[in-house]
Amino acid sequence: MDWYPWGEEAFELAVREDKPVFLSVGYAACHWCHVMEHESFEDASIAALLNQNFVSIKVDREERPDIDQVYMNAVQVMTGRGGWPMSVFLDHQKQPFFAGTYWPPKQKFGMPGFSQVLESLSEAWVNRRAEVLSHSNQITAALQQLADGTEGQSDIASAVEVPGSELVSAACTGLLEVLDRKWGGFGGAPKFPHATDLSLLLRMGQATDNQSLVAAAELTLDRMAAGGIRDHIGGGFARYSVDGQWLVPHFEKMLYDNALMAEVYVRAFQVTGHARHAEVARETLDYVCRELIDPAGGFHCSEDADSEGIEGKYYVWNPEQVEQVLGAESARDFCTVYDISVKGNFEGKSIPNLPQSISAWAEEMSVDEGELAEVLAGYREQLRVARDHRVHPGRDDKVVTAWNALMIKSLSVAGAVLNQPTYLGAAEDAAEFLLKHMTRDDGRLLHAYRDGKAHLDAYVDDYAFTIEAFIALFEATGRARWIKRAANLADSMIKHFEDRDSGGFFYIADDAESLIARNKDWHDGSLVSGNASAASGLLKLSLVCDRQDFRDIAERTLLAGMVVMQKQSAACAALLAVLDHFHHGNQQLALAVTDNTELARIRPQFFAVYRPRAALSWVVGQAPESGPAVALNRGRVAMDGEPTLYRCENFSCDQPIRNDELEQWLGNERLS
């Protein structure tokens, strides 16, 4: 069939030929997108209907999230639900008049056939045009009201002050109320990881010493780590589980999920000291660095659910396949532990998972837990190498700035906490990639890269996530250049995305292509909301760079998002974390060391404890006296050549500490 890219050419053709526009939005790792492509778009009769009666536009939602946001709102307004493939019918003004997701080619599952949909809409366009256009005008008006994301109540002029931190406590209580206390997670099937919710629980559990919050997060993390949503053979997490027990995943693997999940597991390790969380994080990051890295230094978007046209085929096993790799005796033990049977647990095959912990298996087998874990790790690696010879799932080799920034942040945090220099090296390589390939000559960011070429101007989450990534990279390495880059990006983000009238940040820049609505992103989905990330980065930079203007704009953003936090707290955990930081995150910790060798030695101790409310900084060598990007470091020095910690809070500073006092603080400090 005849596909057009999004652009004026397609809409001008629609006007000339007096046809409506069919907009199909999907992405490479979307299983049902592939199904609809094969069933309908490759069907000669349906293709003929589309070509004869519509102008068809294909959009990759990962390249054009701005288009995806606007028209996903339309799908939800018109159908009450959303998802991909997204199928929207537009008039000549780009206004939607009918929308849905997947339709089968012929009527089944209680759904009309796609051919019926096309015939009905074509008839309505020809014979009931006024009705169609009236409907599209009404839907567009609704979308413009929704674009602000705050029910039209985000006018900061009417807000007296930023809401109190009791909203954060109430949101955490709400998460506990919907927690699945057997299997973890929030709500029923299908289950998504909800990384931002888990991060909020760990943050507030640590900050307030509320162990019930930590326990809720840890239950969910342990259940996911045991389930089939985690790839026990190769590492990494699938996008979600179709059941409530985390057993059967939707097998696609997304870069952003794995970045967010790895960081959550590292934070859980910091909070609890439980090494199992660190191991999950390592396996996840090792998977990404092995399978998704681009030769130029960035990270690819995703891997498909399908291989050889079958969902999950690459990931499932039977006992005979395991025996061919490990031998009979070892295979028997492995299959017992990882629930691989002749009957299977998924369509006659088995998804490896852990019905009980390695510790429980060790006790049942009367063997040492450490020895069993080591043996099983060796078996998993043998199976991974063997699995590598299978036909791999398709890979989307796009590089997206925002998603790479999430991975840079995760690698930076993990590299510092887990004392893994290879992760820090990968983070810096990816950050250099963003500077070299994803930055315009004027310093503004680009959004997507493939085959040596970057294109499309960046969106607000590209900026906000990159700012936070560069801050994390500075905190891990002490290299002030990353703070300077972050501050420059923050200035650009404010200039081109901030809503100076009502507060907050628009998703697209002031000079971007104009769509039928200019959205603001407040709610967490699979990703952190753009406004939450923007405000978070600005608050941290305000402390490190002594920039009151950054704090003022973060405050304006929180004021603009007040309605979301008050009425939709279950959907904005990241924004609530910023609210907590706004009220309590005024601690500054600067650790002065003589050189990078000393930094590397002391770094694991500095990061052994999670300090979510602190701004962290390093002074390496001679302390700057004035004018650096890292204003927090002015006048700091490693006294008598010894590591020295400078602590400031609430506009006052303690005496610097060093020697035995510093060692004691590094070992025992807990932020409250």
Do the beta carbons of residue 404 and residue 428 sit within 8 Å? no
CA atoms within 13 A on the CB side of 87: 18
Measured CA to CA, the distance from residue 616 to residue 672 in angstroms comes to: 16
List residues bridging with 439 in a β-sheet. 445
Smallest CA-to-CA distance from 201 within 182, 177, 183 is with 177
Sign of the dihedral defined by the CA atoms of residues 550, 556, 559, 564, in that order: negative
Q: Side chain identity at 514, as an amino acid letter?
A: S
Cα 441 off chain centre by: 28
Its pTM stands at 0.93
Contacts of 197 (CB under 8 A, 6+ apart): 175, 186, 524, 573
Measured CA to CA, the distance from residue 54 to residue 48 in angstroms comes to: 10
CA atoms within 13 A on the CB side of 81: 6
List residues bridging with 299 in a β-sheet. 293
Predicted pLDDT of residue 635: 83
Predicted pLDDT of residue 387: 98
Token pair 């074509």 is found at 122
Task: Enumerate residue ranges in the chain where pLDDT < 70.
Answer: 151-159, 623-628, 668-672
Domain borders along the chain are 3-146, 315-389, 587-668
Measured CA to CA, the distance from residue 402 to residue 510 in angstroms comes to: 19
Start-to-end CA distance of the chain, whole Å, equals 61
Buried b (16+ CB within 10 A) or exposed e, 511-541: ebeebbbbbbbbbbeebbbbbbbbbbbbbbb
Q: H-helix or E-strand containing 653?
A: strand 652-653
Predicted pLDDT of residue 276: 96
Cα 354 off chain centre by: 26
Predicted pLDDT of residue 671: 38
Buried b (16+ CB within 10 A) or exposed e, 581-611: bbbbbbbbbbbbbbeeebbeebbebbbbbbb
Predicted pLDDT of residue 159: 59
Measured CA to CA, the distance from residue 656 to residue 178 in angstroms comes to: 45
Helical pair 65-79 and 129-146, crossing angle rounded to 10 deg = 110
Do the beta carbons of residue 202 and residue 217 sit within 8 Å? yes
Measured CA to CA, the distance from residue 437 to residue 429 in angstroms comes to: 12
Predicted pLDDT of residue 30: 85
Measured CA to CA, the distance from residue 553 to residue 578 in angstroms comes to: 13
E strand map for 388-546:
395-396, 399-400, 446-450, 453-457
Residue 622, SS3? coil
Predicted pLDDT of residue 151: 57
Predicted pLDDT of residue 626: 46
Q: Report residue 206 as tokens.
A: 């640590």
Q: What is the pLDDT of residues 149-161, one digit of tens each?
A: 775 555 455 557 8
Report the CATH fold assignment for 3-146: Glutaredoxin (3.40.30)
Smallest CA-to-CA distance from 277 within 239, 234, 223 is with 223
